[in-house]
Amino acid sequence: MRLQEAYSTLELSSDATPAEAKKKYRELSKKFHPDINKEPNAEDKFKKINEAYSVVQSGKDNELQNFQSNPGINIEDFVNQHFKKQRIVREIHNSVIITFKEAVFGCKKDIQYKRNIKCDACSGQGQKVESNGCLACGGTGKTVMRQGPMTFIGPCSTCKGNLNIKQCNTCGGKSVLEAETSIAVTVPGGVENGNVLRISGKGEYAGTMQNPFINQLIDQYTDMFLHLTVVQSSDFKVVDNTIITNYDISLLDALGGCTVEVITLDGQQTIQVPPSSKNKDIVSIPNLGVGRVGPHNVILNVNYPKDIDKLVDYLKNKDL
């Protein structure tokens, strides 16, 4: 790429300062990165922006010359940028069944599934740089020079940096491998049937993104979405953070008060029914609701007796 073309690609004038070029590069590389921009030509545009920035930095037309002026740049990185294959990546969707109690209080679930992960053999590129047989550079296509603390990497003058690029045998050029994955997912208390949890970065390998602030490539993965199915309970209901159950009690016990055992999600609990309780009165047990924050409310269903004589005798002897 010619220097003038590089400035034009970065939308800069030829007298732009290095700081202006760096700022514009960051802006455009983020805008056209193929993991963010889904337009068909985004990847080509992204590559061209990277190439243009390298040319502007070097101040020379030949795109390979920038390796001589920028310390620590690796030819393999340069090749990977220009030969990266485009492929389709997808989100991962899984499902899990949880009990009513697990939905109320939260739980941990081990989820096993298959996904495409980065091929380490080719660093996710689908291709590998092999020896080109040059004795001068050992087949790497590059020469390394050190001057004090600085390291300069450039194309080999003998083989002109011509590289031997072959398809990765491990992944067959796909850049990914299918792998069994197992993760522990924390399901928060209070979820409902049909809720979906988004697990960041646990989907498929989507390539690398350059972080312009630290000049480092970062592996990018899509997200995994976990769909929840809650087994409903016929005994318990939930309203906001409150768990609700019903308890049948006789009229005599309601009038006189009593101690009863009720079933909660934490097992049996003893509650005190106060004297003169009425139908649909509520006895509340604190901290046994959703997430152990709200209460567990017991609704009293008062059963009226069929034996009226027994009720009359009770009332005669009861100071109401």
**pLDDT tens-digit readout, 182-230:** 999 999 988 889 999 999 999 999 887 766 666 677 888 999 999 999 9
CATH code of the domain in which 266 resides = 2.60.260.20
**Looking at residues 68-74, what average pLDDT do you find?**
41
Cβ(154)–Cβ(68) below 8 Å? yes
In the Cβ-directed half-sphere of 118, how many Cα atoms lie within 13 Å?
16
Cβ(129)–Cβ(163) below 8 Å? yes
**Looking at residues 260-277, what average pLDDT do you find?**
93
Q: Is the pLDDT of residue 56 over 80?
A: no
Side chain identity at residue 279, one-letter code: N
Mean pLDDT of the chain, nearest integer: 81
Query: Which of 66-75, 95-104, 147-156, 267-276 has the weakest average pLDDT?
Result: 66-75
- Quick check: is 2 in a domain? yes
**Looking at residues 126-150, what average pLDDT do you find?**
78
Q: State residue 273's pLDDT score.
A: 96
Nearest CA-CA partner of 243 in 285, 297, 286, 287: 297
Among 23, 49, 70, residue at a domain's last position: 70
**Looking at residues 45-54, what average pLDDT do you find?**
80
- Quick check: is 288 in a domain? yes
Q: State residue 214's pLDDT score.
A: 61
pLDDT band at 236 (very low <50, low <70, confident <90, very high): very high
Among 29, 52, 70, residue at a domain's last position: 70
- Quick check: is 37 in a domain? yes
Query: At which residue do the structure tokens 């004090």 appear?
Result: 148
Residue 297 structure tokens: 């409310």
Share of the chain above pLDDT 90, in %: 34
Angle ∠(284,289,293) on CA atoms, nearest 5 = 105
- Quick check: is 47 in a domain? yes
**pLDDT tens-digit readout, 252-266:** 899 889 999 999 988
Q: Is the pLDDT of residue 72 over 70?
A: no
Nearest CA-CA partner of 247 in 216, 284, 203, 287: 284
Task: Please count the structural domains in the chain.
Answer: 2
Query: pLDDT higher for 171 or 35?
Result: 171
Q: State residue 186's pLDDT score.
A: 95
Q: State residue 179's pLDDT score.
A: 93
- Quick check: is 215 in a domain? no
Q: Is the pLDDT of residue 291 over 60?
A: yes
Share of the chain above pLDDT 70, in %: 82
Q: State residue 228's pLDDT score.
A: 95
Q: State residue 78's pLDDT score.
A: 44
Residue 9, domain extent: 1-70
CATH code of the domain in which 19 resides = 1.10.287.110
Q: Is the pLDDT of residue 79 over 80?
A: no
Query: Which of 132-141, 184-193, 280-289, 291-300 has the weakest average pLDDT?
Result: 132-141
Contact residues for 88 (Cβ-Cβ < 8 A; gap 6+)? none
- Quick check: is 112 in a domain? no
- What is the reported pTM? 0.56
Among 70, 96, 111, residue at a domain's last position: 70
d(CA 106, CA 109): 10
Q: State residue 36's pLDDT score.
A: 77
- Quick check: is 56 in a domain? yes
- Quick check: is 147 in a domain? no
Pairing of strands 107-118, 267-273: unpaired
pLDDT band at 284 (very low <50, low <70, confident <90, very high): very high
